[in-house]
Chains A and B, each alone.
Chain A
Amino acid sequence: MADGLVQARGLTKRFGRVEAVRGIDLDVGRGEVFGFLGPNGAGKSSAMRMIACVSPRSAGDLQVLGMDPDRDGPAIRSRIGVVPQLDNLDLELSVRQNLHLYGRYFGLSRSAVRAKAVELLEFARLTERAEDEVEPLSGGMKRRLTIARALVNDPELLLLDEPTTGLDPQARHLVWERLYRLKREGVTQIITTHYMDEAEQLCDRLVVMDGGVIVAEGAPHELIGRYSTREVLELRFEPEHRPSGDVLSGVLAGRVERVEELPDRLLVYTADGEAAQAAVTAAGHRPLAALVRRSSLEDVFLRLTGRTLVD
């Protein structure tokens, strides 16, 4: 892994008695878009903050851009871009000033940050709002500004902690499009998210984290192939007519891999959803609603942890 931008072995973070990250191994290569997927409290942000060289590790080895964060923190930080989970823009400054001042911290000259800001405002579609104060901007605009700001030093590595949480679908798609553009330009990205679709859309490779450990690793389609079936049949019943998972498994013997019971629905994992649905109906069960869909990372997560990702 000579060309690994980020390399971790047994990376651990403790906060007093809480062990937020419990010995994870990572290798992120140049140009790759790498994802951390996991529920609240899985340790995604804690891992990201160690990689961003702002949080010292409690144990394990970590190399970022070939350097040790403990020794070369400022040098590493000068070459990466960070989008934290919570925006930390200066609300009483203008959009443009936020870009200018941030760029100055990276040792860029005033003329360089002025030129860069024009380009980034365009990138974030904020040119019209450039002179406005940040405070009244919408959440999506602030997020786009935070992302644009992280690019002020043309980073080799971009760390995005939940880049689209709280955004409406339109704003999310705009962010995704921008991140995809950066990927084409060869910017390595590490993204945390609890949105499956985001992980599937953006990541070349991802790890599923739960309780501070990595429970699975691979490309999104690999993970789905490894841990789930091709299709999923989702069934909703009136509570009093709802068959148990075991009953359904019996009805569908041989046709399904497994049945998951969730509070509001049953998930039938099968290669052929239509056929499974027909078999359920033939056995006299009357679901309120039935839906056949492709397997997703959500199913992988459910399989691995027995829990849904977003409660």
Chain B
Amino acid sequence: MAGEADRATGRVPGPWGGVALVVENHWEWYRRNWRATAVSTVVQPLLFVLAFGVGFGALVRGSGQVAAATGGVDYLVWIAPGLLAMSAVQTGAFDSTYPVLSGFKWQRTYTAMTAGPITPGQVALGHLGWLAVKTAGAGLVCAAVIALLGGVAGPGILLAVLVSVLTGAAVAAPITAYSATLETEGASFPAIFRFVVIPMTLFSGTFFPVDRLPELVRPLVGVSPLWHGTELARAAALGGPWPPWPAVLGHVAYLLALLGVGTVLAVRTFTRRLAR
């Protein structure tokens, strides 16, 4: 064909190229609007660092009981990787609720993306990919500030940031998939925060070791992805002691499985929602 047929300049990006374009879009949006969200992604975890790591840490310094619980390290150093993982989970969970529903319902930006050659699956993957980039950036900034406060034991903190990103994504993926099925937010999102995210942040070993919890609830802890992430992040940040290798493998496998299943479901629910 010739003439008018050649008019169109658009072409189909490759499968990963399309995902990268969605990530690029989120980045451009963030570059213009980051001030609004920086509070929750960076300032809030740093407030936790100040309140618990520095303030509470000073209170309990020298207590034999605390030293026994933390394996002798300073409380700030001990809690820092936990806070990194917790913060990634909170960002991942929040950004996968209201903003995702808005992409379908309020601003409908997802319908704009998929009017062109981008597919719904690429929109879902791009959302999760962007969350990984964002939580990694926020984690590095927080780690740097914690280092200035003397809360970093060594370069293992970088591995802890990486684990946090994985943990955040593992929580974000299934929530993203769920949000794509909602017609209205109703009570669903507040319920996610009240009954999933908040209990998870309190009882996943972020602030105190889970073996201090009553026997009865301890098996529940194993369900929490944040606990798996915190175990890994803390061992990485402190340079050990690592749990026995099958346990390490178990933690990683649990997070990867959650991420994998959540991602597959998200691709599916995005496709169902946008192609109807």
Contacts and interface: CB of A to CB of B under 8 A. Distances in A.
B117 A77 contact: yes
A101 to B, nearest CB: 5
Contact of A31 (B4, B21, B32): B4
Nearest to B8: A79
Given A105-B118, A155-B7, 4 more contacts: A77-B115, A90-B109, A105-B113, A105-B117
Given A90-B29, A92-B29, A104-B25, A78 B112 contact: no
A55 interface: yes
Nearest to B4: A186
B61 interface: no
Interface stretch (A106-114, A201-209, A223-231, A279-287): A106-114
A104 B21 CA distance: 7
Given A77-B115, A90-B112, A156 B8 contact: yes
Interface of A: 15, 30-31, 52, 54-56, 73-75, 77-80, 82, 84, 86, 88-94, 97, 100-102, 104-108, 112, 153-156, 186-187
Nearest to A107: B11
B28 interface: yes
A221 B13 CA distance: 44
A154 B8 CA distance: 5
A12 B147 CA distance: 63
A93 B17 CA distance: 22
A131 to B, nearest CB: 11
A79 B10 contact: yes
Contacts of A104: 21, 24-25
B117 A78 contact: yes
A153 B10 contact: yes
Contacts of A156: 4-5, 7-8
B12 interface: yes
B111 A75 contact: no
B29 A107 contact: no
Nearest to A110: B24
A82 B115 contact: yes
A78 B11 contact: yes
